[in-house]
Amino acid sequence: MAKTVKEVLAMGKNVQMVDLRFIDLPGTWQHFSIPASTMDESLFEEGIGFDGSSIRGFKTIDESDMLLFLDPDTAFVDPTLEVPTLVIICDVYDPITGEPYERDPRYVARKAETYLKESGIATRSFWGPEAEFFIFNDVRYGGATNSSFYHVDSREGWWNSGEELKPNLGGQIPAKRGYFPTPPTDTLQDIRSKIVLALMASGVDVEVHHHEVATAGQCEIDIRFDTLVNMADKLIKYKYFVKTVAYSKGLTATFMPKPLFGDNGSGMHVHQSLWNNDKNLFFDESGYACLSETAKYYIGGLLKHAPALLGLVAPTTNSYRRLVPGFEAPVNLAYSQRNRSAVCRIPVYSKSAKTKRVEFRAPDASSNPYLCFSALLMAGLDGIQNKIDPGEPVDKDLYELPAEELKKIKQVPGSLGEVLNALEADHEFLLKGNVFTADLLETYISYKRENEVDPARLRPHPYEFTLYYDV
């Protein structure tokens, strides 16, 4: 049952602050707080103003006034804050037109859900992201004209096995050996459990948590599937609680895709399916891996538009430190049942019609989930509308294929610059139904090039001194 304004006002009587949160274009939660005593019905009816000129991807300073409208259904009491605080996720509006703001990523996700229904293909979609992250004990980084460095540390890190830690209790995790060891090797059991409890207290259903493959505190917490906007809201809450709970225990968490050299990076495999009311449109008992023709066309859309999609779903220069062969990273544009080396995988844990789904494995959690899920949906729908054939499945280890066979399989681009070029060249499928706008995409691409691609490209890399200092 959706929360009503009356119910949220009642919740406000038991707290001292109300925290209003919204998402910027790159995907970071922003917020400001008001005393709970000032929250009344007019706040929900009229919205509340803020300066949008300092928000990445929003307004310029000469047109900075913007409005937030509170979504009462998103209200929850933050279990991690000392001062009792009610959190409400908001939508961004233009005060002049009175319309939703076109660059608000949450509005994009709302439009994607509307477009799905209007397409006549399905009534709803379900989303299940598996977001991985690292929890470190220490992090330092910086750069100047004459220097550049980073240093992360974890008591689980294999590099600490020989250090004088006074005492060093051993049990550090070798590279690629972090999957499922029990405590005390897994030092983060209680931290993950506290994150899970915070998520559940905020209304997010959790299925499982565990240590991941990499050394030095790589973790995963899987949250139960939901519809598109709801899941994007939940994933932002997920990232918030991971970081907040870790920080409260003197630790630091990151969703950076590749913080360590020589070990697995952190991805976000996104499970997705389309439904007509209670019928899963992706299931057909007679099809390959029990996939329907609709599901195969959906995969065709994902594969066709994958280079452009990566600009939104793997959107950092660091994403392409992860998307390389050999680290369970899906760089091959193919689909397969079970096979984790394909960019599209069809899980076969169950033969139930309800569980049939497509898993797209290229994304990572540095992405804005509202844009990520919306873009994936639009690519899949384009595949269905145009009956895009994904070709034959590849049920082989793609990393071990002979060179002549591997040449036949396309790979994802290898840099953020390349995928932004692909997005610039291939985005008509995103504009259908005005889900994405040309203005939003132009702003997004320009921001990424100016603030990420060019600064990273122009700076010497520390390893280049090893390679070239003595030339």
Residue 267 DSSP one-character state: -
Comparing CA positions, the residue from 211, 235, 216 lying closest to residue 172 is: 216
Q: Which of 40, 45, 46, 51 is catalytic?
A: 51
How far apart, in Å, are the Cα atoms of 87 and each of 73, 74, 345, 449?
A: 11, 8, 36, 33
Q: Is 51 a catalytic residue?
A: yes
- Backbone torsions φ then ψ of 66, nearest 5 degrees: -140, 165
Q: Which of 305, 361, 427, 452 is catalytic?
A: 361
Q: Which of 130, 226, 233, 452 is catalytic?
A: 130
Other beta carbons within 10 Å of 56: 13
| Strand boundaries in 36-146, DSSP class E | 48-51, 65-70, 76-77, 85-93, 124-136, 138-144
Other beta carbons within 10 Å of 223: 23
Contact 387, 380 (CB under 8 A): no
Q: Is 269 a catalytic residue?
A: yes
C-alpha dihedral, 94 to 446 to 414 to 132, nearest 10°: -30
Q: Is 449 a catalytic residue?
A: no
Q: Which of 212, 226, 364, 382 is catalytic?
A: 212
Question: Which tokens hold the place of 45?
Answer: 């009816």
Q: Is 209 a catalytic residue?
A: no
Q: Which of 24, 102, 132, 364 is catalytic?
A: 132
Q: Is 364 a catalytic residue?
A: no
Comparing CA positions, the residue from 385, 402, 383, 387 lying closest to residue 344 is: 383
Residue 89 DSSP one-character state: E
Angstrom distance (rounded) from CA 164 to CA 160:
8
Q: Is 361 a catalytic residue?
A: yes
The string of DSSP codes covering 176-245 is T--SSPPTTTSTTHHHHHHHHHHHHHTT--EEEEEE-SSTTTEEEEEEPPB-HHHHHHHHHHHHHHHHHH
Q: Which of 340, 418, 424, 449 is catalytic?
A: 340
How far apart, in Å, are the Cα atoms of 66 and each of 60, 91, 225?
A: 11, 11, 32
Q: Which of 21, 106, 269, 271 is catalytic?
A: 269
Q: Which of 104, 113, 220, 452 is catalytic?
A: 220
Q: Which of 186, 359, 382, 452 is catalytic?
A: 359
Q: Is 338 a catalytic residue?
A: no
- Backbone torsions φ then ψ of 297, nearest 5 degrees: -65, -40
Q: Which residues contact 57 (CB under 8 A, 6 or more apart)?
A: 24, 25, 26, 103, 443, 444, 447
H or E element, residue 441:
helix 438-448
Q: Is 212 a catalytic residue?
A: yes
Q: Is 452 a catalytic residue?
A: no
Residue type, 289: A
Active centre residues (catalytic): 51, 130, 132, 212, 220, 269, 340, 359, 361
